A and B are shown apart, each in its own frame.
Chain A
Amino acid sequence: MNNLIVLPLLLPLLSAIILVFLRKQVAVQRSISGISALLNIVIAVILVGQIQSDGIQTLYMGGWIPPYGIVFVADMFAGLLILTASVVGAACIFYSFSSIGEERERMYFYPLVQFLLAGVYGSFLTGDLFNLFVCFEVMLISSYALIVLGGSKRQLRESIKYMLVNILSSALFVTAVAYLYGALGTLNMAHLSQRVAEAGQGGMLNVIAILLMIVFSLKAGLFLFFWLPGSYAAPPAAIRALFAALLTKVGVYALVRTFSLIFYHDPAVTHTWLGWMAGATMVLGSIGAIAYRNVSSILNYQVVIGIGFIGLGLAIATQAAWDGVVFYLMHDMLAKVLLFILGGMLITAAGTEKLLEIRGLIDRYPLIGWLFLGTTLALVGIPPLSGFPGKVMLIRSAFQEQAFVLAAIGLISSFFVLYSLIVVFKQAFWGSELDQEPRTTVPPRSKLLNGTILAVFALLVFLGVNAEWLYEFVSHAGHVIAEPDLYIQAVMKE
């Protein structure tokens, strides 16, 4: 029992409720959401420290011992993801101070962000499949509101499709939960794992596993990412950064949990599918990334490629692969949030998304330009930046399991990341500025924002340089994912 692990969920929830009542006082709203975001980082650091020293932390809601009641479980994987997500959340909130506009701030922007964060942390922490659905919905309903906040034509058009896709996948999620309950009579993940192991993962359970795979792949954008580029292009940059860094990663988290803890007995069926989907995601994402000459489309397809690359680790599913998945997931969240914030600043500075109309920004915006290049190199995986250790671990585990085709696709997709982002860098920052009247939109230049992006970039360098130190935590997480018994014993103590 550890009451600390409910705090990452409780703090954003409480701050959101307080913020709802402070609609008119924008300055107060800003400081409360900023402080709450920073506090969450502190809580997450303490939590990770506790998990590292004392093992998996659990909290039985209302004192109901599993399999009854709802249990919150914080293993190292969840802890590290909460830490990364809280950094991402803080960066997005600081970015929105100078970019989102007072109109949106008055229309409950900050409470919605906090509700979204509460849903994300809840999804990472919960040890119950139905509770996972509820946390997903908390997150998704906030995202429905955020994606349409402002009500431009493009937002209204895209949010209808985004909502429809997510409502359908949620309905399928509940269907899968119903089948699981009918088949196994429990929804506690640790208990499910035990019962699947006892019953043997045969035909019926494989069908449920594939159903869950479809649901989570839709949310994660693994192969079923047709909705992603359109929807993520609609909202303003701060919201886009939040979505790109967090929403799809929650789907990935659910995939990892389901296929490492519950359905890991029949990899010939489930993990083969995951492998094909990961490969196809990387190929299609690469094609998308080089097909467009529009900054936000190019950035959106980077999300797709990243998900595909993590999917590679999901398909391999050895402990080395899980280490890689954890490390790469942390890197990817940080790098994506930085990439999208820089992309948003670039679009504001240029006044257009069309790449061919942007040139020579490096003179006026050297910081954005060089950080963009740095983030590109991090995403490609150039040492000493943070993409390198994760990619090494994932590719090496693929070679160990003789998945040469997947490894090759993964390596080649890195070149496409490099090519597509260098095209943006070269076109937008180099050359001389187009001779035309200066754009009317004033680009954000605030010390807080510059500090934020520098801090996130410093984190990327830190993760890359201190990979050895971080590996201690990452391998702890990978070890628990690879050995479901550890998780089960921590939850089902009696």
Chain B
Amino acid sequence: MELVMAITTGLLFAVAVYLILSRSVLRIILGTSLLTHGVHLLIMNMAGLKRGSAPLISEDTMSYTDPLPQALILTSIVINFGVTAFFLVLAYRANQTLGTDDLEKLRGGDENE
């Protein structure tokens, strides 16, 4: 099972990198979102997939699943959600003001201020 997860993580990273390397801002945002999903899967995989019961103390079971990765992933999902929402609004506003979502045209320097 871990192997499948590892391959999925790799696929997510690959797709994300492909999307981030494109010129359209919207695709880039989708890419960053997928990249963070890949990272979350990686955290889950690195800590080992579920091996025991829920991490609540009881007498029935001796082995517990590590709750820490879930806490990390949850925090990271929340942060990623907020950042992606902000990024989407920013891209929309930039598109309205600058009239383009092509990163090649968003190149800036002192000469075209």
The complex places the Cα of A297 from the Cα of B91 at a distance, in Å, of: 25
Q: Which residues from 25 to 45 on chain B have a C-beta closer than 8 Å to any C-beta of chain A? A: 25, 28, 32, 35-36, 39-40, 42-43, 45
Most chain B beta carbons < 10 A, residue from A145, A161, A167: A167
Query: Is there contact, CB below 8 Å, between B32 and A179?
Result: no
Residue B11 lies at the interface, judged by CB distance under 8 Å to chain A: no
Contacts of B83 in A (CB 8 A): 137, 141, 144, 163, 167
Contacts of B25 in A (CB 8 A): 160
Q: 1/0 contact trace for A10-38 toward B, CB 8 Å?
A: 00000000000000000000000000000
Given the known inter-chain contacts A154-B113, A156-B98, A160-B106, please indicate yes or no for A177 contacting B82, CB distance below 8 A: no
The complex places the Cα of A154 from the Cα of B25 at a distance, in Å, of: 16
User: Which of B43, B45, B47, B90 is the one whose CB lies under 8 Å from A163?
Assistant: B90
Query: Is there contact, CB below 8 Å, between B35 and A171?
Result: yes
B2 CB → nearest A CB, Å? 11
Query: Is there contact, CB below 8 Å, between A175 and B75?
Result: no
Residue A211 lies at the interface, judged by CB distance under 8 Å to chain B: no
Contacts of A178 in B (CB 8 A): 39, 42-43, 46-47, 72
Given the known inter-chain contacts A151-B93, A177-B43, A182-B46, please indicate yes or no for A158 contacting B79, CB distance below 8 A: no
Contacts of B20 in A (CB 8 A): 164, 168
Residue A475 lies at the interface, judged by CB distance under 8 Å to chain B: no
The complex places the Cα of A159 from the Cα of B82 at a distance, in Å, of: 16
A290 CB → nearest B CB, Å? 15
Chain A residues touching B, range: 35 or more
User: Which of A130, A134, A161, A175 is the one whose CB lies under 8 Å from B42?
Assistant: A175
The complex places the Cα of A182 from the Cα of B113 at a distance, in Å, of: 48
Q: Which residues from 127 to 160 on chain A have a C-beta closer than 8 Å to any C-beta of chain B? A: 130, 133-134, 137, 141, 144-145, 148, 151, 153-154, 156-160
The complex places the Cα of A177 from the Cα of B69 at a distance, in Å, of: 10
Given the known inter-chain contacts A130-B75, A134-B79, A167-B87, please indicate yes or no for A297 contacting B43, CB distance below 8 A: no
User: Which of B32, B46, B75, B110 is the one whose CB lies under 8 Å from A171?
Assistant: B32
A230 CB → nearest B CB, Å? 6
Residue B68 lies at the interface, judged by CB distance under 8 Å to chain A: yes
A175 CB → nearest B CB, Å? 5
The complex places the Cα of A144 from the Cα of B91 at a distance, in Å, of: 13
A184 CB → nearest B CB, Å? 11
Residue A294 lies at the interface, judged by CB distance under 8 Å to chain B: yes
Most chain B beta carbons < 10 A, residue from A151, A154, A171, A175: A171
Residue A467 lies at the interface, judged by CB distance under 8 Å to chain B: no
Contacts of B39 in A (CB 8 A): 171, 174-175, 178
Contacts of A154 in B (CB 8 A): 108, 113
Given the known inter-chain contacts A174-B43, A177-B43, A181-B46, please indicate yes or no for A157 contacting B108, CB distance below 8 A: yes
Select from chain A the residue with minimum beta-carbon distance to B75: A134
Query: Is there contact, CB below 8 Å, between A164 and B28?
Result: yes
Q: Which residues from 251 to 295 on chain A have a C-beta closer than 8 Å to any C-beta of chain B? A: 292, 294
Q: 1/0 contact trace for B78-106 toward A, CB 8 Å?
A: 01001100110011011001100001001
Give A contacts to B, CB under 8 Å: 130, 133-134, 137, 141, 144-145, 148, 151, 153-154, 156-161, 163-164, 167-168, 170-171, 174-175, 177-179, 181-182, 187, 230, 292, 294, 297
Would you list the 6 A-B pairs with minimal beta carbon distance, nearest first? A182-B46, A156-B94, A178-B43, A178-B46, A174-B39, A178-B42
Listed A/B pairs (8) with beta-carbon separation below 8 Å: A144-B86, A163-B87, A164-B32, A177-B43, A178-B46, A178-B47, A187-B68, A297-B110
